Structure 1
Amino acid sequence: MNIGSLLAAATLFFGCSAPPASGSDQWVPVREVSLEVRAGSPLDFSSFLPNGPIDAEHRLVAGTHGRLGFASSPETPVRMLCASLAWSPASGGFPDHDDADRYARQLALHGYNIARLHFVDASLMFGRQADFDFDPQTLDRIHYLLSALKRNGIYWIIEGLSSPRGAYGGYDDRWEANGNLKLALHLDEKAFQHWRTLQETFLSRVNPYTGVAPIRDDALALVILANENGIEFDSVVHERAGEPSYDARLAAPFNNWLAKRYRSTEMLMKSWGDLDDDERLERGSVKLPAERYSDSPRMRDVQAFFAEIERASAERLTEALRDLGYKGLISTYNNWPTMQTALSRSDLEAVTMNTYHDWVGGYSPGSALLQVSSIADGANYMRMIAAARWLEKPFIVSEYDHLFWNRYRYEGGLVMPAYAALQGFDVLCRHGHGPIVLSYGEPYPHKNAMLPYAIALDPVARAGETLAALLYRRGDVAISGITIPFAVRGEEDLGEDMQAREPERLTDLALVGRIGLQHADLFDGEIGVMQPRVQDSEDVLATLREGGVIDPENRTDVARGFYQSDTGEILLDRHAGQLRVLTRSTEAAAFSSLRQPIDLGVLRIEQTDGDGLVALSTLDVGAPLSQSRRMLLIFATDAQNTGMVFRDSEERIIEDFGSLPVLIRKNYADLTLSRTAATWRISPIGLDGTVYPPVESGTGSVSFRLSNDTAYGPTTYFLLELEEHG
C-alpha cells in the first residue's frame, strides 16, 4: 500500500456524505487471544472450498471468454479469493518457517486460494546498503512462505516493483513515496535495466524449498509489472506545493512526441489555439501543463502522450519477463479509472485495479475519513473499477477495502463480494498487512491496535472476509446473464480533463448487469453505452427492457435509487441505506436503518438495536437454506480499540487509535426463519471457531433474539442447527 498515492485517489474520487448511524453505544471487549481457526469447526471452509494441487495442468490461464481457468480446463471459470500479504517490519515482517506453515494452513481453512505479495522488494532491501544485496534471512523466509502457500494450494501474485526505491541500497524510506523509479521506468534505460536485474535476482533465483525459480513455477499466476505506476498518478503522488505539476524529465519526450504529430509550431498552434512566446516546437521548448486541473487542448495531448508511453513501457517490460522464461499472466497500471489509463490498459493480458471506500491517509493524529456509507453512494468504489475493466480479459481486484474506522464497514463484506460475483471478477483481494493473524497481541507497532489496512485484527472486516468466501468464491451469488459494453474508440475519446472517467450516471448499470470496456469496432448489434457518452443508465435500461434482455419484473428504478440485479439476487436501496442478497445458499442484508422488517425468504430480520450486517449461509454441501440443517449466522456491527479518541463528535478525525483489546459494539437482532423443526438451537462461535453451548433453543417455529454479547464474549459468528421432524 502506497499511502501517498492513495491520498490523491481519495481526493479525486470520493466525496459522498451520510448521517451517523444509530444504535447501542455499549462496547464489549473481545476475549479471544488465539485467532487460529480450529480444523473441522464451522469456520473451517476447506471441506467445501478445497484447494487442489498446483501443477502444469492447474496453471492459471486466460481461459474461454477471458475468464481465469486452469490450463487443462480453460472453459471452466475459477474464482480466486486473494490473501493480501503486505508485511513490513512494523507489522512483523515475513514469518519464520513454523509460523509460515501455520499461516498458510490457516489461509486455506479460511477459503483463500491465491495470495498477493506486496512490497517484497522493500522487505528484501530493508537496512541494506548495496544494490540488490537482499537480506538473506528475509529471502529465505519469503522462499519458504511461497513453498508453504503452494503446498496448501494457494497461488501467487507478485509485483515486479512495489517500492519506488526498488533494489537500490542505502534508503530507509522504502515504504514511502519518495523515490522516482516508477516514473524513470518509462523514460530511462538505467531504470529499466535496474528493474530487469531485480526480476533476475529475485524471480529467476531458484527457490530451495520448491526446487524451481518462482518465475517458472506454476504457482505464479500473475506478475504486476509495477504497482500503481501510471505517469499521471505518480506525478500527483510526488507533487509538492510551489513546484511544477509534472517532472521536468517528461519535457523532452513530450516535445519529441509533439514533433512527430504536428511537425511545426504553426500546426501545433492551430490545434491548441495558444502558445507562449517562448514555446517553439522546433526548439523543443513546448511546456507541459502548468496546472493539471485546468482543462485544455494541451492537457488532451498530454493524456495521449502518457497513454502511448505507458503502452510501450508495458510492452517492453512484458517482453523482458518473457525472455526470462515467464509464461503466466502479466498486468500493470492497477489504479485510477480514468479515460487515459483505460487506453494504457487496453493491450494488457489481464487488467488489475485497486479501489477504496472512505480512504484514510495515514496513522498519525489528525488523519481523517468521511464516515460515509458505500450503499448510500450506490457502491461507487465498485462501479469505478467495473467500468475500468476490459471485457474478455481476466480482471483482478488487486486491492480494495472499506476502511477502518468507518462505522459502516460491515457493508464491505456484502457490497464488494456480491457485486464482484455478479460482474464475474476473477480475483478479489481485500487489502491489508495480512487478512489474518494467528493471535492478538503480537509485539509489533502495527499489531498493537486495529488500524486502517490491518483487517486481520478487525472482527468486522474478518466477518466480511468470511462472507466473501461464501458469496464470491463458493459462488453463492451468480454472474450476471447480461453484458453491457462501454464503447471505446481510442484516442479520440480523450477530452481536455485529465481526471475524466466513466460518468456515475452510467456506471450504476453495474448494479444491474455486467459492464466493461470494449473496442467500438467489435460492437455487432449489441445494446451498450456508445461514444460520445450522451446516454444515461435509464436510456440503456429502457432499451434492454424493450429488447427483452431484462425481465419486465425487474424492480430497478434509477430515480428512486433502487437497483435489482438481472439475476434477481441483489437489491440495493440507496435512500434506505440497505443492500439485500437473496440466493439459494446465502441470504444477507446490510442496513443503516431498519424501519420495517426485511424478509429475505428463509430469513426474516424483524428488528435490531442498530445498524449492521446479518447473513445466513448453509454449511451443508449442496443443500439450500430451505433444507439445510447446519447454517452459519454472521452478525456484524462495529468495532473500535480500547481508549480510541477522536477530535470531533462525528468520529471523522483520529486523535489516538488506542490499544487492544478490541471492542465490539453491542447489538441485538430479532430473527425468524420460514421453517419449523423438531428442535433447533443456536450456539455462539468464537473468533477462533470454537463452538460454545447454545444460547437459544426451541421446537417448532424458529424465532429468537440474537445478541452479539454472549456469556462467552462478543462474537460475529453463530451456528444454527435444525433437527427435522421424524
Structure 2
Amino acid sequence: MSRLPLAAATIFLSCLPAHASDQWLPVREISLEVQTGSPLDFSPLLPNETIDAGHRLIAGPTGQLAFAEAPEKPVRMLCASLAWSPASGGFPDHDGADRYARQLALHGYNIARLHFTDASLMFGRQEDFDFDPETVDRIHYLLAALKRNGIHWIMDGLSSPRGAYGGYDDRWDASGNLKLQLHFDEEAFAHWRTLQEKFLARINPYTGVAPIRDEALALVILANENGIEFDGVVHDRPGKPPYDPALALPFNRWLQKRYASTEALAKAWGDLEDDERLEAASVKLPADRYADTPRLRDLQAFIVEVERSSAARMSKTLRDLGYKGLISTYNNWPTVQTGLSRRDLEAVTMNTYHDWVGGYSPGSSLLQASSIADSANYVRMVAAARWFGKPFVVSEYDHLFWNRYRYEAGLVMPAYAALQGWDVLCRHGHGPIALAYGEPYPHKKAMLPYAIALDPVARAGETLAALVYRRGDVATSGITIPFAVRGEDDLGEDMQAREPEQLTDLALVGRIGLKRSDPSRLEIGVAQPRNQASADILAEFRDIGILPAGNATDIERGLYESDTGEIVLQRATGQLRVATPSTEAAAFSSLREPIDLGILRIERSDGNGLVALSALDTPATLANSRRFLLIFATDAQNTGMIFRDSEEKVITDFGRLPVLIRKGEVDLSLSRSAVKWKLSPIGLDGTVHSPVESGAGPISFRLSNDAPDGPTTYFLLEFE
C-alpha cells in the first residue's frame, strides 16, 4: 500500500478545521489500483465474457438484455460512466487505458457509457468535424481495451449542444440549441448524421472494425437529454419566452391538420387572442409552461409526434450505417408526455438524481435530505418511466456529494434496480474509479459532485452494487404491476404531469412499468385515470394471493416490504434493510434499537451510515461461506471544505485533498460461530492489513473505520 510519510500526514492533520480534527480521518492511500487476487478483485466472482458474435447484447423475448447465444437468459450490466473532459484528465494514453480497463473489470463492471465524446473530440478545434487526432486515437484504443476486458459499450450519438461545430469553448455547458434544432432543422440533422459517419462509422485501427459495427457496442443513445420540453427548461431565462420560436410554425402546421378552422380551435381552447388565426399560422406558443391550459395539452401532443418522428428518422440513419444494436433517446424526465415519446423505442434509458446540485461554483447548494425519507422517490420516478417488454437502462443516477446521506445510494438504488429487474445500472461521474489520488487536473484535486471516483463513500456503494445488483444477490420481484397507457388520451393540461407519487410507491413492493392497455380490460395493475390508491391495490393483491399475506407493507406508516421479503424500507426511522442469502445490509440515519438481519445483527452505532456483509466464497451464501466482505461507510469530505451555513447546504469552497472519512463505530454480531475467526481492514486498494479483531466461538466485535493503517470502508472477515 502507498503510505503518506509521517511528516506529510502531520501537515494534512494540521490543516483540518479545529472542530473536526478528531472526527475526520485523512485517507492515506495514494494508489487506488485494486490488486489482483485481493478481496476487492471481483473478476473471479463476476467474470466478463469474451465479446464476440455470440456475446452481442440483444433484447431477449421478454424484453430483457441477453447475449445473442442465450436469448432466454437475462444478464445484468453494471455500467462505468466515462464522462471525461480536459478538467478531469481526458481520455488516458495507451498504458493508462490498459490499466483503467483492467481495473474496471476487477471492480465488476461489464459495460461502459462514453459520454461527451463529441466535446472531447472537438475541444480547442476551430473547424467543423476537425477532430483532435490524439483524442481520436485515445478513444479508439480505450474502446479496444474495454472490449479485451469483456466490457461492452454505450455511446451517445450527441452529448454536447455544440456537436462537432468548430470554434466553441463551452462544449460542456448547456449553451447552444443543436438538440432542439435536430427536431426541426435539416442542416442540424445533417450535422448529426455526419457526426455519426465521421466517428461511429470510422474504422478503429485497434479493433479492425468501426464502432457502429462492433459487437461490443450494445446501445446508442441518439442524443443525450434531448426532449423538447426539457431543452426549453434548460434554456429558460428571465424575460425570455418559455418556448423557442422555432416551434411556432411546425406547431401551427400541426394544428392546421387537427382542427378544421380557427373557430374549431377556439372552441377547443377557449382562449384565442384576436390576432391568432389558424389559417395565417399565427397561433402563439404558450406564454407560461407552468400554467395549465388546453393549449399546453395540444403542445404536448405535438411534441410527442415530433419526438417519435425524430427518433425514427435518426434510428434509420444508424441502421443505414450498419448498426445492429439497440437504440434509445429521451433519457430523462419521467413525465406523461415523455413516456409517450419513448413508447416505440427499442430500449428505454433514464437519468435520475437525488439532491441535485447545479454546479461547482461558490453558492451551489443542495438540500441535505435523505432519499429514504422520501421513500426513494428518485428511484420510483424512473421506475414509472419504464415500458414493459423493452430493456430498461439507468444511464445516469447519483445521490450527490456532499449530501451526508449518500451512503444510502449504495443500497437503495442497486437493491431496487434488482427488484425491478432493470438491465443496466450506471452511477454517473467523470469515471467510476481513479488509479490514484493526486492527479494534476482541476476536477481531480478534490471530491466534487458528479465525480464519484475519489469518494470512498460512493466507491463503497459501487462495490456493494456489484454484488447486490450485478451478482444478483437481490432477487427480481415476482409481481408485475402495469400502469395502463391509452395514448394521447392520457395527456392533461399540465406539461409537467407525471405518474402520481402515491402510486409509484408500488415500486417498493413489486415491478412497475408502463404498458399499452385498454383500462377496461386491465385485469390487474393501475388503470386510467389514475384515481386509485396504492393501499387499495395492495389490499386486492393480498385478497387474490398475489402478495403474501404476511407482507408487512403499511403505506400510512411509510413501511414498505418487497414481495420477495428481502427489502424493507422504513421511512420514519430512515432505514433500508436488505436480507438475502448472499448479502445482508442496512442503511440507517438513526439506530434506536438493534437491526437483526438474520445472520448479521447491528447492535449499536455512533452515527448514521451503511453496513453490509457479503459472502465471497462460491457458492456465495452467508450461512456457509468462510470469507466475507464487510462494508462500513459513513461520510467523507475534502480537507478545508467551507460552507456558508451550519447545516452545510451551501458550498463556499470545496477544499482539497486528502479526502477525510468521518470516524465511526458500530457494534456487530453474527448468528454463526467459528473455531477461529479474524477481522482485517482492507485498504482502498485492496491490501489486506493485519487483523484488528479475532476470537473463537461466537462472533461479536466493535468495528471502527479508524484502522491502524488508515481509515477505510472495507474489512475482511474470515473463519477457520
TM-score range (shorter-chain normalised) is: over 0.9
What SS is found at the alignment partner of 2:195?
A: helix
- Structure 2 CA distance for partners of 1:623 and 1:310, relative to 1, 3 Å: closer
- CA shift digits 1:372-411 (9 cap, x unpaired): 0000100000000000010010000000000000000000
When residues 338 and 24 of structure 1 are mapped into structure 2, their CA distance, relative to the original with a 3 A threshold, is farther
Q: Check conservation: 1:132, 1:169, Cα contact below 8 A.
A: yes
Whole-angstrom CA distance in 2 between matches of 1:289 and 1:106: 51
Relative to 1, partners in 2 of residues 1:506 and 1:106: Cα closer, same or farther, differing over 3 Å?
same
CA distance in 2, matches of 1:523, 1:627: 50
- SS of 1:164 mapped into structure 2: coil
**Residue in structure 1 matching 2:442, options 426, 442, 445:** 445
1:292 to 283, 289, 292: 289
CA distance in 2, matches of 1:570, 1:274: 51
Write the distance in 1 (CA, Å) between the matches of 2:173 and 2:592. 46
Q: Is the counterpart of residue 336 in structure 1 residue 333 in structure 2?
A: yes
In the TM superposition, residue 615 of structure 1 has moved relative to its aligned partner by 0.1
Secondary structure (helix, strand or coil) at the match of 1:464 reads helix
1:273 correspondence with 2:252: no
**Structure 1 equivalent of residue 667 of structure 2:** 670
Cα deviation, 1:386-438, whole Å, max 9, x if unaligned, reads: 00010010000000000000000000000000000000000000000000000
Partner of 2:168: 171
- Secondary structure of 1:283's match? coil
For the residue of structure 2 that corresponds to 1:186, the secondary structure is coil
Matched, 1:44 2:8: no
Consecutive aligned runs of 4 or more in structure 1 exceeding 6 Å deviation: none
Contact 2:484–2:522 at 8 Å: present in 1 too? no
- Please list, as runs of the form range in 1=range in 2, the aligned pairs for 1:46-61 lying within 5 A after superposition: 46-61=43-58
Q: 2:130 corresponds to which letter in structure 1?
A: D
Match runs of 1:8-87 below 5 Å = 26-87=23-84
Say yes or no: does 1:611 pair with 2:608: yes
Query: In structure 2, do the counterparts of structure 1 residues 324 and 492 end up closer, same or farther at CA, with 3 Å as the change threshold?
Result: same
Which structure 2 residue ranges, 5 or more long, are not aligned? 1-19
Whole-angstrom distance in 1 between the partners of 2:406 and 2:679? 26
1:236-247 alignment runs, 5 A limit: 236-247=233-244
User: Are the equivalent residues in 1 in contact too, given 2:256–2:278 (CA < 8 A)?
Assistant: yes
Task: Please give the alpha-carbon distance, in whole angstroms, between the structure 2 residues aligned to 1:457 and 1:249.
Answer: 43
1:354 aligns with 351
What is the aligned partner in structure 1 of residue 256 from structure 2? Answer: 259
Contact between 1:24 and 1:665, CA under 8 Å: does it hold in 2? Answer: no
Structure 1 position 641 matched with structure 2 position 645 = no
Q: Secondary structure at the match of 2:183?
A: helix
Structure-1 residue corresponding to 2:216: 219
Measure the CA separation in 2 of the matches of 1:526 and 1:443. Answer: 60
Equivalence for 1:526? 523
CA distance in 1 between partners of 2:446 and 2:36 (Å): 27
Instruction: Give the corresponding residue for 2:506.
Output: 509
Q: Distance in 2 between matches of 1:632 and 1:720?
A: 6
Please, which of 546, 550, 554 is the counterpart of residue 549 of structure 1?
Answer: 546
Contact kept, 8 Å, 1:556 with 1:563, in 2: the verdict is: yes
Question: Hey, what's the Cα distance between the residues in 2 that align with 1:674 and 1:269?
Answer: 72
Task: Give the whole-Å Cα distance in 2 for the aligned partners of 1:351 and 1:528.
Answer: 21
Could you tell me how far 1:239 is from its partner in structure 2? 1.3
Deviation at 1:539, TM superposition (A): 1.2
| 1:373 partner amino acid | S
- Name the SS of the counterpart of 1:710 in structure 2: coil
Deviations 1:273-294 (A, max 9, x none): 1101100001000000001000
Q: Secondary structure at the residue paired with 1:282?
A: coil
Task: Give the 3-state SS of the residue equivalent to 1:688 in structure 2.
Answer: coil
SS in 1 for 2:182: helix
Kindly indicate whether the alpha-carbon contact (under 8 Å) linking 1:458 and 1:639 is maintained by their aligned counterparts in 2.
Answer: yes
Instruction: Identify the residue that residue 482 of structure 1 maps to in structure 2.
Output: 479
- Is the contact made by 2:607 and 2:664 (CA closer than 8 Å) also made in structure 1? yes
1:431 aligns with 2:431: no
How far did 1:24 drift? 11
User: Amino acid of the residue matched to residue 419 of structure 1?
Assistant: Y
Structure 2 Cα separation of the partners of residues 584 and 454 of structure 1: 32
Deviations 1:467-490 (A, max 9, x none): 000000000000000100000000
Aligned residue identity for 1:274: D
Question: Who is 1:8 aligned against?
Answer: none
What CA RMSD, in Å, does the superposition of the two structures yield over aligned residues? 1.0
Residue 301 (1) aligns with residue 298 (2): yes
Query: Could you say which residue in structure 1 is the equivalent of 2:7?
Result: none
Query: How many Å separate the matches in 2 of 1:397 and 1:109?
Result: 22
Shift of 1:524: 5.6
Per-residue deviation, residues 340-388 of structure 1 (Å, max 9, x unmatched): 0000000000000000000000000000000000001000000000000
CA–CA distance in structure 2, aligned partners of residues 684 and 543 of structure 1: 49
Structure 1: distance between partners of 2:576 and 2:321: 47
- CA deviations on 1:46-83 (whole Å, 9 max, x unpaired) are 00100011011110000021000011111000000000
TM-score (norm 1): 0.96
Matched, 1:690 2:717: no
User: What SS class does the counterpart of residue 516 from structure 1 fall into?
Assistant: strand
Q: Distance in 1 between matches of 2:673 and 2:162?
A: 62
Counterpart amino acid of 1:384?
A: M
The code of the aligned residue for 1:225 comes to: L
Whether 2:589 is the aligned partner of 1:592: answer yes
Of 401, 412, 420, the residue aligned with 2:409 is: 412
Partners of 2:486 and 2:519 within 8 A in 1: no
Secondary structure of 2:155's partner? strand
Q: Letter of the 2:43 partner, please give it.
A: S
Q: Distance in 2 between matches of 1:523 and 1:96?
A: 59
Q: Does 1:92 align with 2:92?
A: no
CA separation in 2, counterparts of 1:132 and 1:25?
54
Deviation at 1:527, TM superposition (A): 1.1
Q: 1:679 aligns with which of 676, 679, 689?
A: 676
Provide the secondary structure at the position in 1 that maps to 2:200.
coil
Within the candidate set 237, 248, 263, 2:245 is matched to: 248
- The alpha carbon displacement at 1:162 in A equals 0.2
Report what 2:489 is aligned to: 492
State the identity %: 78
Determine if the alignment matches structure 1 residue 467 to structure 2 residue 464: yes
Q: How far apart in 1 are the matches of 2:565 and 2:636?
A: 32
The amino acid across from 1:64 in the alignment is: P
- 1:100-249 correspondence runs (5 A): 100-249=97-246
Alignment partner, residue 565 of structure 1 = 562
Q: Which amino acid aligns with 2:291?
A: S
Q: Which amino acid aligns with 2:472?
A: G
| Shift in Å, 1:623 | 3.6
AA matched with 2:322: G
Q: 1:427 to 1:545 in 2, by over 3 A?
A: same
Distance in 1 (alpha carbons) for counterparts of 2:562 and 2:62: 21
Whether 1:653 and 2:666 are equivalent positions in the alignment is no
- How far apart, in 1, do the equivalents of 2:260 and 2:129 lie? 44
Separation of aligned partners in 2, 1:591 and 1:559: 20
The answer (yes or no) to whether the contact 1:436–1:456 under 8 Å persists in 2 is yes
What SS is found at the alignment partner of 2:506?
helix
Aligned counterparts of 2:494 and 2:200: Cα–Cα separation in 1: 39
Residue 478 of structure 1 aligns to which amino acid in structure 2?
Answer: A
Aligned partners of 2:718 and 2:636: how far apart in 1? 27
Contact 1:678–1:700 (CA<8 Å) still a contact in 2?
A: yes
Give, in angstroms, the shift of residue 521 of structure 1. 3.6
